[in-house]
Amino acid sequence: MTAPLELPHGPLMIDIAGLELTERDRKCLIHPLVGGLILFARNYRSKEQLSRLTAEVHALRSPPLPIAIDQEGGRVQRCRDGFTSIPPMRSLGALWEQSPSEALGAARDIGYVLAAELRACGVDLSCTPVLDLDWGHSSVIGDRAFHRDPEAVVQLAGALIEGLHHAGVAACGKHFPGHGWAEADSHVAIPVDDRSLAEISVDMQPYRRLKLDVVMPAHVIYPQVDSRPAGFSPVWNNILRKEIGFGGVIFSDDLSMQGASIAGDVVERVTAAWDAGCDMLLVCNAPGSVDDVLERWQPVFDPVRSARIARLLPNAALPAMQGNPQYIAGVKMAEVLLS
């Protein structure tokens, strides 16, 4: 086997087209600008196939590329067949209203199940939890949110994060400072939230109080704070870094989404997100855009940001599943909440 290429993590997180790596994929993944891979449903057929794929990706470089996926539960669950069906987070919010203690235990156990199953297949990070408040405005968020009450969100997300961390997986809070108020879907439009900073502060409570490894800003414009979407805004980055004190990795949301189009073409988008302070820049579902960035973009390498990205790789042993009481309890609770 070829020795892995010794290369620090670059700032781009890209995707691949299929179930296994092509020569084009390998060429892109060993490019110095690339620092991670994100997987989608099209990249998953079975646990065995996923394990082979992630092992090959990890073997390409040293330190290995972090491999991420959106495995929130509910309608956002990329790996399904062979994985536990995770309920939408709103179901935990509904349980919270009946029994907060039971809901917290369920969130903790379900977080462990989610993370343990991914790690067993070589996936390092799930882009979860969604921390947006459920204001009832945003259909793209909807039941992905835990609750409208920020205290419920803090408690439930905190318990889920405990489960993720217990299984050795980092937690990615999204979408800072909050996507629950704006109605438009940033995948296909540019959402706007006209509230003042004081009004938005309630949405930011989870970011102030939770132990997050990654934060993903929203492709939402908050014009009373800045004319740029949060992911392109040094103003919002300053609030996150200096006021809130976040020291982890800042992921851009997918820069191929319509909500990012305000920044220009794809090279202008990655430049704007990088200059705003994002450490990891996601370019997904657009292979031509990836090629364009790799050919045209020439940022100054930042070892501090690269070191942050390296911390996303799990440093603990694989978590136990068979016979593990927490895993068994999480699977059973997921089944109950889905019934």
> Which pLDDT tens digit goes with each residue over 166-189?
999 999 999 999 999 998 776 767
- DSSP string spanning 116-153? HHHHHTT--EE---B-----S--TTTGGGS--SSHHHH
Give, as one character, the DSSP assignment of residue 262.
G
d(CA 243, CA 239): 5
**Catalytically annotated residue among 187, 194, 265, 275:** 187
Q: Which CATH number fits domain 85-338: 3.20.20.300, 3.40.640.10, 3.40.50.300, 3.40.50.10470?
A: 3.20.20.300
What is the layout of strands, in order, in the sheet containing 170-176?
249-250, 214-217, 170-176, 125-126, 67-69, 34-39, 12-14, 281-283
> Residues marked as binding for substrate?
70, 78, 144, 174-175
Rg (CA), the chain: 19
Output the CA angle 8-12-280, nearest 5 degrees.
90
Of residues 251, 301, 326, 234, the one with CA closest to residue 7: 301
* 253 tagged catalytic: yes
In order along its 339 residues, the chain shows pLDDT tens digits of 578 999 999 999 999 999 999 999 999 999 999 999 999 999 999 999 999 999 999 999 999 999 999 999 999 999 999 999 999 999 999 999 999 999 999 999 999 999 999 999 999 999 999 999 999 988 889 999 999 999 999 999 999 999 999 999 999 999 999 999 998 776 767 889 999 999 999 999 999 999 999 999 998 999 999 999 999 999 999 999 999 999 999 999 889 877 677 768 899 999 999 999 999 999 998 889 999 999 999 999 999 999 999 999 998 899 999 999 999 999 999 999 999
Q: For the chain, what are the domain ranges?
A: 85-338
Q: Give the sign of the dihedral formed by CA 244, CA 272, CA 282, CA 179.
A: positive
The torsion angles phi and psi of 78, rounded to 5 degrees, stand at: -70, -35
Contacts of residue 226, defined as CB under 8 A and 6 or more positions apart, other chains included, come to 233, 235, 236
Query: Could you give the CA distance from residue 186 to residue 44 in angstroms, rounded to a whole number?
Result: 25
| Other Cβ atoms closer than 10 A to 264 | 11
Q: Which residue of the set 15, 213, 253, 254 is catalytic?
A: 253
Question: Which residue shows structure tokens 């939770």?
Answer: 210
Q: Any catalytic annotation for residue 187? A: yes
pTM of structure? 0.95
Tens digits of residue pLDDT in 33-88: 999 999 999 999 999 999 999 999 999 999 999 999 999 999 999 999 999 999 99
